[in-house]
Amino acid sequence: MDTEVKLSITPSTVLEYLYCPRFIYFMEVLDIPQNEETRYKVMEGRNVHKIKALSNAEYKRKKINVIKKEINQEMYSNTYNIHGIVDEILFISDGTAAPLDYKFAQFKDKIFKTYRIQSAMYALMIKDNYGVQVNKGYLVYTRSKNHVEELIFTDDDFNSVKEIVQNIIDIVTKNIFPKRTRVRIRCSDCCYRNICIK
C-alpha cells in the first residue's frame, strides 16, 4: 500500500480486508507484518506465476473475440485510489475491454466473492486508464485444465469495490479498529490471534 502521496489500495490488500478487516489494522496501522508463511494469497500468487510460466498461457478463449491483449500491465487509478498488476487485459472486437486473471485453484461451480471483487478492481483500473467500457472479466482456473469463467459486472460490484476501498482508507487514516471477521474459524491459525482482542 502506497501511503506517501495519496493512499492507493491494491487487490492484495482488498483480499486481506475481505479475509479479516483487522488484518489491515495490524499491518498498516500498527505496522506488524504478517508471518509470510501464512499469507495464503501471496503463496497462491507465487504458485500462479509458476504455473503460468509452465503453461505458456494456453487457455481457451475462442468465444472471446480478442483483437489485442496486454500482459502483466501495471495500472494506477487516482479516481478510485487503487493500483495493481493485471495478468492480462483483453481488448474485444465490440470496443470494450476485460481483465483476465489466473487463479491457482479448481473451479467448483461457484465464483468466490474475493475473485469477483478483485476482477472488478482491475475493471475499474482499465476504465480509468484506457477510457473504455469494461462490462466483463475472465478468470482462468489453472487447476481445472485452465477452465475459463466469464464474469458480468454489475453496478453492485463496482460499488462494493468503492465501499471496501473507502473502509480500508478509513481504517488506515482514522486509526479505526475494525470488527473481526464473522468467519471465526479463521482466527485459529491467524498470525495475529495472540494480540487480537476477542
To ligand SF4, the closest distance from the beta carbon of 39 in angstroms equals 13
- Listed residue (3, 25, 18, 13) closest to 195, CA to CA: 25
Which of the ranges 129-137, 139-147, 164-172, 178-186 carries the binding residues for ligand SF4, by CB under 6 A? 178-186
Contact 98, 138 (CB under 8 A): yes
Residue 169 touches ligand SF4, criterion: CB under 6 A: no
Instruction: Rule CB under 6 A: choose which of 14, 20, 117, 140 binds ligand SF4.
Output: 20
Q: With binding defined as CB under 6 A, does residue 50 bind ligand SF4? A: no
Among 140, 145, 64, which Cα is nearest to 101's?
A: 140
**Rounded Cα–Cα distance for residues 93 and 69 (Å):** 11
Residue 159 CB, nearest distance to ligand SF4 (Å)?
25
Is residue 116 involved in binding ligand SF4 (CB under 6 A)?
A: no
Q: Which parts of this chain interact with ligand SF4 (CB under 6 A)?
A: 20, 22-23, 180-181, 186-187, 190, 192-193, 196
